[in-house]
Structure 1
Amino acid sequence: MGHERRPCDVAIGLGCHDLGVAAETAALYLDGLVRRIVFTGGPNPSRPELFPRGEAVHFTEHAIALGVPEHAIHQEPRARNTGQNIQFSRDVLEAAGIEARSVLLVTMPYMERRAFATCRKVWPEAEVVCASTPMSLNDYVKSIGDDKLVIDSLVGDLQRVIEYPRRGFAVAQEVPETVHDAYQRLLADGFDSKTLN
Structure 2
Amino acid sequence: MISAQAWADAQRLWDFQQMGHELRPCSVAIGLGSHDLGVADTTAELFHRGMAPLIVFTGATSRTTRERMPRGEAEHYRDRAVELGVPESAILVEPRATNTGENIRYSRAMLEERQVPVSSALLVSKPYEERRAYATACKLWPGIEWVSASASMTLPAYVDAIGDAQLVIDMLVGAQQRLVVYPSQGFMTEQVIPEAIEAAYSRLRDAGFTSRILAEDSQPASR
Q: TM-score if structure 1 supplies the norm length?
A: 0.99
- Structure-2 separation of matches of 1:46 and 1:176: 30
> Which residue, 142, 145, 149 being the options, matches 1:124?
142
> Which residue, 71, 76, 99 being the options, matches 1:58?
76
Q: CA deviation at 1:46?
A: 2.2
Cα RMSD over matched residues? 0.6
Q: Is the 8 A contact 2:65 2:73 kept in 1?
A: no
Q: CA deviation at 1:47?
A: 3.1
Equivalent position of 2:187 in the other structure: 169
Mapping for residues 1-197 of structure 1, pairs under 5 Å:
1-197=19-215
1:125-165: CA deviation from partner (whole Å, max 9, x where unpaired)? 11000000011000000011110110000000000011100
Q: Which runs of 5+ in 1 are unaligned?
A: none
Q: Is the 8 A contact 1:44 1:51 kept in 2?
A: no
AA matched with 2:139: K
Identity across the alignment (%):
54
SS at 2:166 equivalent: helix
- Structure-2 separation of matches of 1:37 and 1:143: 24
Runs of 4+ in 1 over 6 A off after TM superposition: none
- Structure-1 separation of matches of 2:185 and 2:86: 38
- Structure-2 separation of matches of 1:87 and 1:99: 16
- Structure-2 separation of matches of 1:86 and 1:34: 17
1:77-133: CA deviation from partner (whole Å, max 9, x where unpaired)? 000100000110011111111011101000000100000000000001110000000
SS at 1:129 equivalent: strand
Q: Which runs of 5+ in 2 are unaligned?
A: 1-18, 216-223
SS at 1:183 equivalent: helix
- Structure-2 separation of matches of 1:120 and 1:75: 21
